[in-house]
């Protein structure tokens, strides 16, 4: 079957993307079959090719879109914040909220780097470095302001990102700790990691 009447191409693409993320998360990119993906969104295989002409290109575009969305959302969250401690607190909150709300995207964004071509891999790594650089700027600005002292900016930034990103592996909405409580704990952990005194 083709696209149902009254359904736009953009809506179909959103449905394809959602179904693909679910399939890649459950089975891995290499095991994702386009025929099954078409069935997931009630399309004929031929119609799916209008949205996913090449499986490899689709993966690269998907992971790139996820990173661009992360960067855009982060820029909006940090708007108007100048003081390093406030920016650090906002970053920790943003990172936890974004990565726990989008656990599947986070998982495939990390695990499926191996499935990218060299050119695709370079694009995604470049976007990840953009995010890392923005976090590193927070750490550097706090150090200049005398709020904390770190031995190595890049190592400390990577340690901070690793600390926070790992939450998406185990966090559950129905778990022992609510998200707000978890965020406050990690905000304190972040300032301790940087050698600052928690408030």
Q: How many residues are there in the chain?
A: 199
Q: Is residue 198 part of a domain?
A: no
Structure tokens at 175: 């778990």
Co-location of 119 and 150 in the same domain: yes
Instruction: Taking residues 16-43, report their average pLDDT.
Output: 90
Confidence of residue 6 (pLDDT cuts 50, 70, 90): very low
Which pLDDT tens digit goes with each residue over 93-106? 999 999 988 989 99
Confidence of residue 4 (pLDDT cuts 50, 70, 90): very low
Average pLDDT along the chain: 89
Q: 3-state DSSP: the chain helix, strand, coil percent, rounded to 5?
A: 70, 0, 30
Distance CA(94)–CA(76), nearest Å, equals 10
Is the predicted pLDDT of residue 196 greater than 70, yes or no?
Answer: yes
Co-location of 63 and 93 in the same domain: yes
Which pLDDT tens digit goes with each residue over 169-192? 887 777 787 789 999 999 999 999
Co-location of 29 and 106 in the same domain: no
pLDDT score of 33? 84
Structure tokens at 183: 């965020």
Give the CATH number for residue 104.
Answer: 1.10.357.10
- Torsion region of 116: left, alpha or beta (phi above 0 gives left; psi -120 to 50 gives alpha): beta
Q: Is residue 156 part of a domain?
A: yes
Cα-Cα-Cα-Cα dihedral of 9, 11, 13, 18, to 10°? Answer: -170
Distance CA(13)–CA(8), nearest Å, equals 9
Co-location of 79 and 42 in the same domain: no
Co-location of 9 and 61 in the same domain: no
* CB proximity list for 6: less than 8 A, separation 6 or greater: none
Co-location of 46 and 72 in the same domain: no
Which pLDDT tens digit goes with each residue over 105-159? 999 999 999 999 999 999 999 999 999 999 999 999 999 999 999 999 999 999 9
Co-location of 45 and 103 in the same domain: no
Q: For the whole model, what pTM was predicted?
A: 0.86
Buried b (16+ CB within 10 A) or exposed e, 103-118: bebbbbbeebeebbee
Distance CA(44)–CA(40), nearest Å, equals 10
Final residue of a structural domain among 53, 72, 89: 53
The answer to whether 59 and 117 have CB atoms below 8 angstroms apart is: no
pLDDT score of 114? 93
Q: Is residue 199 part of a domain?
A: no
Q: Which domain holds residue 95?
A: 56-193
- Residue 199 DSSP class: -
Q: How many domains does the chain have?
A: 2
Q: Is residue 164 part of a domain?
A: yes
Co-location of 45 and 77 in the same domain: no
Co-location of 150 and 122 in the same domain: yes
pLDDT score of 198? 53
Q: Is residue 145 part of a domain?
A: yes
pLDDT score of 148? 95
Q: Smallest Cα–Cα separation from 163: which of 191, 137, 143?
A: 191
Co-location of 66 and 33 in the same domain: no
Co-location of 38 and 98 in the same domain: no
Co-location of 134 and 85 in the same domain: yes
For residues 78 and 7, the model is more confident at 78
């Amino acid at each position: 079957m083709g696209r149902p009447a009254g359904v736009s191409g953009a809506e179909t693409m959103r449905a394809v993307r959602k179904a693909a993320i679910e399939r890649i998360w459950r089975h891995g990119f290499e095991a994702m079959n386009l025929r099954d993906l078409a069935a997931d969104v009630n399309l004929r295989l031929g119609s799916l090719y209008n949205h996913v002409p090449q499986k490899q290109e689709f993966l690269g575009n998907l992971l790139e879109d996820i990173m661009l969305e992360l960067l855009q959302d982060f820029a909006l969250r940090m708007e108007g914040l100048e003081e390093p401690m406030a920016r650090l607190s906002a970053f920790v909150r943003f990172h936890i909220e974004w990565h726990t709300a989008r656990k599947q995207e986070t998982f495939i964004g990390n695990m499926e780097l191996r499935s990218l071509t060299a050119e695709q891999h370079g694009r995604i790594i470049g976007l990840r470095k953009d995010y890392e650089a923005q976090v590193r700027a927070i750490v550097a600005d706090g150090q200049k302001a005398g709020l904390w002292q770190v031995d190595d900016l890049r190592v400390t930034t990577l340690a901070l990102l690793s600390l926070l990103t790992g939450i998406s592996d185990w966090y559950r909405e129905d778990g022992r700790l609510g998200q707000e409580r978890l965020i406050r704990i990690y905000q304190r952990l972040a300032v301790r990691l940087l050698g600052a005194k928690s408030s």
